[in-house]
Amino acid sequence: ACLAADRRYLALALDNPSVVAVIVPPPLAIADPGGRAMIAAERADELYHHLHAAQRFAQADAEPQVDPSALVEPSAVLLGEVRVGAGSSIGPRVVIDGPVRIGEGVRIEAGAILGCDGLYAKNVAGKRRHMPHFGGVEVGDGAFIHAGAVIVRSAIRGESTRIGAGAHVGVMCNIGHDVEVGDGATISSNVVVAGRARIGARAWIGASATISNAVRIGDDAEVRLGAVVIQDVAD
């Protein structure tokens, strides 16, 4: 089930074979949603977020699986469904809260956090509520997560925030939910990448830049230090 608050999102929903029900404001309701359920609600976003928050966390019985060749500092904390690939290293005081999949040859430096909830506050039934995050994180082979970086889990069950192969995420970066960082991208220190943004392959993001939610940074693009990006950047 998904929320379609405008015509662009409605078109995306109707084109997605995984969608079985669409929640829309009444003006967007259509007679033939292509075999899907269509729910028209005056406060469509509030209904969607009520349903999202009503989900239950799966009881994860999985234990972390660490390849024998990987190095994990004793002070690191690995919780639930965590997989660490061959030749990877997990530094001191790192916290990894599954489901998280870490590829081969990945380096995660001191104090980084992978798989936490991010900021997702919505008004539901007159109360300001935090929307829980039900997804995970995937880190590609050869990626480098620097000290203090935070990578938020996906908000959607079965989906992942993704860090591409060979990508570098700098010191104290904040990578929001459902972000995709392309292969070989470089994200410098103190960068904020808001939820659902896309960073293209081999893109360079300068220190202390801020990327707004759902913005796409193209392949091989450059964003200079301190920039505030609120529109897509071409390849």
CA-based torsion, 76, 83, 106, 159: positive or negative: negative
Active site residue 50: no
What six digits make up the tokens of 216? Answer: 């796409």
Mean pLDDT to the nearest integer, 17-23: 93
Mean pLDDT to the nearest integer, 183-212: 97
d(CA 81, CA 19): 26
49, 52, 146, 177: the active-site residue: 177
Q: What tens digit of pLDDT does each residue of 142-176 get?
A: 999 999 999 999 998 889 999 999 999 999 999 99
What is the pLDDT confidence band of residue 56, given thresholds at 50, 70 and 90?
Answer: confident
For 35, 69, 97, 124, 135, the CA distances from 20, given in Å and listed in that order, are: 8, 43, 30, 23, 19
